[in-house]
């Protein structure tokens, strides 16, 4: 063929989109219970928003952003993550001292495509502004766990850590890592100069062994941060939210200032095992030009969630018709009228308008996995009723319109 999709992106076909709809619907249902409101931000932003917000030393800014000059010479970026844009919108639109927001949409990063990771990917995220208490952190983590439960993913593990290190910790960590230089990968050697804490989170087995005895951040927390972190753990325990403390876990974004967390799974392989992650970032609003405002949030990847669900053999058929109408060619008008009356009653209905044979139309109904079939032929027209067939049981009965609605809704 003449044109094909670019490497690192994908077409999400109708066989897969019901799972995506399921994830989005369940997540939005949880957001409603927690009183979080939808915010839609642009896909393109000025590059400075991300170099300032994410951090110039981050891998995203240094290697992964899709950036270009527009026709007026402005340096534009396809957003690589959602938080910075939401913070910009929060400041620019004067959304008040407190706001609980969620968003969904495409993100873009130029990185090597692999399982659960694409150059264009879709996220659902949460950002909460104005509450510095550990109760808000616990609420956000509990909400994240609730979304995973609602979606139907089982066996995920919640990992938590705190990044609010006391003065001198990073010097201590860097001094330790300097002694391990011969055992660190090239990527970690680069991080050692820029952001040494990220060496702790390297997935390379040699690096992991080298940092086993590194000074842990959780043993070097600021006193107020330690009290905050202890309270979060207490609140999580009080709601039965199981977690694992992971002192080597850090996030790949520079704006995190306190508690961070991620939900992992063993369904995607060791390199791409995170399905939802987030944390507290109390300095970002001020750094981007707003008033000093505490904030916390998370994001989940729809592709990874979908891959876990389908990998577990779980299917979602949101688009299955309740009724497929099989009509003789001479009675297409009657079929079309019934189709619209059923939809007006909130019943998902479908029909072929081509007047093919009954056998062909029944095959189409089966391919769509329709729950019922309504037959309109000469006999049904003479009787003034419709033949309603239950496709699961195979039973068929002659009924009027009201009976069809009642049976389907039952």
> pLDDT exceeding 90 applies to what percent of the chain?
68
Confidence label for 318 from pLDDT (cuts 50, 70 and 90) = low
Q: What does the pLDDT read at residue 312?
A: 77
Confidence label for 342 from pLDDT (cuts 50, 70 and 90) = very high
Mean pLDDT of the chain: 91
Q: Would you state the CATH architecture of domain 17-164+221-311?
A: 2-Layer Sandwich (3.30)
Q: Which range, of 22-36, 201-215, 357-371, averages the lowest pLDDT?
A: 201-215
Concatenated DSSP letters of 329-388: GGGHHHHHHHHHHHHHTT--EEE--S---HHHHHHHHHHTT-SEEEEE-HHHHHHTSEEE
Report DSSP state, residue 97: S
> pLDDT exceeding 70 applies to what percent of the chain?
94
161 with 144: CB under 8 angstroms? no
Determine the topology of domain 323-409 in CATH. Rossmann fold (3.40.50)
Report d(CA 336, CA 155) in Å as an integer. Answer: 47
Q: Nearest to residue 164, comparing CAs of 137, 204, 185? A: 137
Confidence check: pLDDT of 347 > 90: yes
The average pLDDT across 356-380 equals 94
Q: What does the pLDDT read at residue 405?
A: 94
Q: What does the pLDDT read at residue 317?
A: 63
Q: What does the pLDDT read at residue 62?
A: 65
List for the chain the helix, strand, coil content (%; round to 5): 40, 20, 40
Phi and psi torsions of 301, nearest 5°: -95, 120
Q: Give me the residue spans of the domains in the chain.
A: 17-164+221-311, 323-409
Confidence label for 410 from pLDDT (cuts 50, 70 and 90) = confident
Confidence check: pLDDT of 59 > 80: no
Confidence label for 117 from pLDDT (cuts 50, 70 and 90) = confident
Concatenated DSSP letters of 280-301: E-SSHHHHTTS----EEEEEEE
Opening angle at CA 321, ends 316 and 324, nearest 5: 150
**Segment 67-114, tens digit of pLDDT:** 999 999 999 999 999 999 999 999 999 999 999 999 999 999 998 877
Q: What does the pLDDT read at residue 108?
A: 95
**Segment 257-285, tens digit of pLDDT:** 999 999 999 887 656 689 999 999 999 99
Q: What does the pLDDT read at residue 254?
A: 75
Report d(CA 205, CA 197) in Å as an integer. Answer: 17
Taking the CA atoms of residue 9, residue 15, residue 19 and residue 24 in that order, the dihedral angle to the nearest 10 degrees is: 70
Confidence check: pLDDT of 190 > 90: no
Confidence check: pLDDT of 203 > 90: no
Report d(CA 136, CA 311) in Å as an integer. Answer: 33
Q: What does the pLDDT read at residue 56?
A: 59
Confidence check: pLDDT of 355 > 70: yes
Q: Nearest to residue 141, comparing CAs of 273, 38, 257, 263? A: 263
Q: What does the pLDDT read at residue 391?
A: 94
Q: Which range, of 80-84, 126-130, 139-143, 272-276, averages the lowest pLDDT?
A: 272-276
Residues β-bridged to residue 262: 159, 277
Concatenated DSSP letters of 45-65: EEHHHHHHHT-TTSHIIIII-
Confidence label for 60 from pLDDT (cuts 50, 70 and 90) = low
**Segment 285-295, tens digit of pLDDT:** 999 999 999 99
């Amino acid at each position: 063929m003449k044109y094909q999709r670019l490497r690192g992106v994908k077409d999400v076909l109708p066989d897969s989109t019901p799972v995506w709809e399921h994830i989005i619907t369940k997540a939005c249902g949880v957001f409603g219970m927690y009183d979080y409101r939808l915010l839609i931000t642009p896909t393109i932003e000025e590059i400075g928003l991300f170099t300032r917000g994410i951090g110039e030393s981050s891998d995203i800014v240094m290697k992964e952003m899709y950036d270009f000059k527009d026709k007026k010479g402005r340096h534009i970026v396809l957003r690589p993550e959602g938080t910075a844009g939401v913070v910009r919108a929060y400041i620019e639109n004067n959304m008040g001292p407190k706001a609980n927001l969620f968003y969904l949409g495409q993100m873009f990063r130029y990185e090597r495509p692999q399982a659960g990771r694409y150059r264009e990917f879709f996220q659902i995220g949460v950002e909460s502004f104005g509450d510095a208490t550990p109760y808000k952190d616990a609420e956000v983590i509990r909400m994240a766990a609730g979304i995973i439960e609602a979606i139907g993913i089982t066996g995920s593990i919640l990992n938590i850590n705190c990044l609010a290190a006391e003065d001198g910790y990073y010097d201590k960590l860097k001094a330790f890592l300097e002694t391990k230089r011969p055992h660190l990968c090239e990527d970690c050697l680069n991080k050692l100069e820029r952001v040494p804490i990220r060496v702790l989170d390297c997935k390379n087995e040699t690096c992991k062994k080298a940092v086993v005895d590194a000074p842990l951040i959780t043993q070097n927390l600021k006193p107020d941060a330690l009290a905050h972190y202890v309270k979060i753990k207490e609140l999580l325990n009080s709601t039965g939210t199981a977690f694992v403390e992971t002192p080597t876990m850090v996030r790949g974004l520079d704006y995190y200032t306190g508690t961070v967390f991620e939900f992992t799974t063993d369904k995607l392989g060791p390199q791409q095992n995170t399905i939802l992650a987030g944390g507290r970032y109390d300095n970002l609003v001020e750094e981007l030009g707003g008033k000093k405002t505490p904030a916390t949030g998370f994001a989940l990847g729809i592709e990874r969630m979908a891959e876990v669900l389908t990998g577990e053999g779980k299917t979602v058929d949101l688009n299955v018709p309740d009724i497929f109408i099989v009509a003789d060619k001479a009675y297409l008008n009657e079929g079309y009228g019934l189709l619209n009356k059923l939809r007006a009653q909130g019943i998902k209905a479908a029909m072929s308008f081509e007047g093919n044979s009954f056998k062909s139309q029944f095959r189409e109904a089966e391919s769509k996995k329709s729950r019922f079939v309504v037959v309109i032929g000469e006999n049904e027209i003479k009787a003034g009723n419709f033949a309603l067939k239950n496709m699961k049981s195979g039973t068929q009965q002659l009924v009027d319109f009201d009976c069809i609605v009642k049976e389907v809704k039952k």
